[in-house]
Amino acid sequence: SQTIHQWPATLVQPVGSPLSLECTVEGTSNPNLYWYRQAAGRGLQLLFYSVGIGQISSEVPQNLSASRPQDRQFILSSKKLLLSDSGFYLCAWSADTNQPQHFGDGTRLSIL
Amino acid sequence: QQQVKQSPQSLIVQKGGIPIINCAYENTAFDYFPWYQQFPGKGPALLIAIRPDVSEKKEGRFTISFNKSAKQFSLHIMDSQPGDSATYFCAASKLGGNEKLTFGTGTRLTIIP
């Protein structure tokens, strides 16, 4: 069966520090991969999605970037974190664009 | 035109009652409407989904009702239990492309014993 892993589960970082969140999927090949941010009292906002290695689409201009160095690995990065980057970050995968998205358990990021 | 409006923001229902969560969308191109259930500290999990070719879909105690002309859909939970207490998100997308789910803002449901 397919599983998705995100780490770390929680992270506290100072303003201006770099960020790297990792997401890996097991049990499937060539998945579509997604990064979302969930802010309190709001829905999930799609940040990036990828349909293949090295193929990244950005949904909103921001301080973050994403990379897909391997088929089942999706990384969310920042060179310099802002206070506004705090939130709950979720990675998701789908088998293709006609299949449901399945979410990981997220990373709670707090910027101090 | 990409919004999905969800209500209520929070809901408290007694055990055995039928909580109803409503969503409305604007983009008539949307043709896939999933509901996700999220427990604290966890990612959302797909609960049930509907396509606009049917007006209702049931899976266990969960039912989606869909009104295409009104561009509205709702989630009903029959015989609700305390274990159903969670945040529920509706979403919508257009299948067949690089799909991006547009999510509602969520409903925090509490089922009291």
- Provide block-wise average pLDDT over 10 residues at a time, chain A (112 residues): 93 96 95 91 86 89 90 96 93 87 94 94
Q: B41: nearest CA in chain A?
A: A105
Instruction: Say whether residue B35 is in contact with chain A using an 8 A CB cutoff.
Output: no
Residue B98 pLDDT: 52
Q: How far apart are CA A112 and CA B9, in angstroms?
A: 29
Position A17, amino acid: S
Give the per-residue pLDDT at B24.
97
CB contact under 8 A, A104 and B43: yes
- CATH number for the domain spanning A20: value is 2.60.40.10
Determine whether the interchain pair B97/A104 forms a contact, defined as Cβ–Cβ distance below 8 Å: no
pLDDT band of B73, cuts 50, 70, 90: very high
Of A21, A13, A6, the C-alpha closest to A86 is A13
Read off the tokens for B94: 């257009």
Residue B95: the pLDDT is: 76
Domains in chain B, ordered, with CATH? 4-112 (2.60.40.10)
Residue B17 reports pLDDT greater than 70:
yes
pLDDT at A42: 73
> Which of A55, A102, A51, A53 lies closest to A73, judged by CA?
A53
Distance of CA B12 to the CA centre of its chain: 16
The number of domains in chain A is: 1
What residue numbers bound the domain in which A34 lies? 3-111
Q: Which of the two residues, B41 and A73, has the higher pLDDT score? A: A73
* Model confidence pLDDT, tens digit, residues B83-106: 999 999 999 988 765 567 889 999
pLDDT value at position B82?
97
- CA separation for the pair B12, B97 (Å, rounded): 38
Q: Return mean pLDDT, chain B.
A: 92
Which residue has tokens 């506290």?
A12
Burial class (CB in 10 A: 0-12, 13-18, 19+), A60: exposed
Across the interface, of A46, A49, A97, the residue whose CB is closest to B95 is A97
Say whether the peptide bond before residue A69 is cis (omega within 30 degrees of 0).
Answer: no
Q: How far apart are CA B112 and CA B107, in angstroms?
A: 16
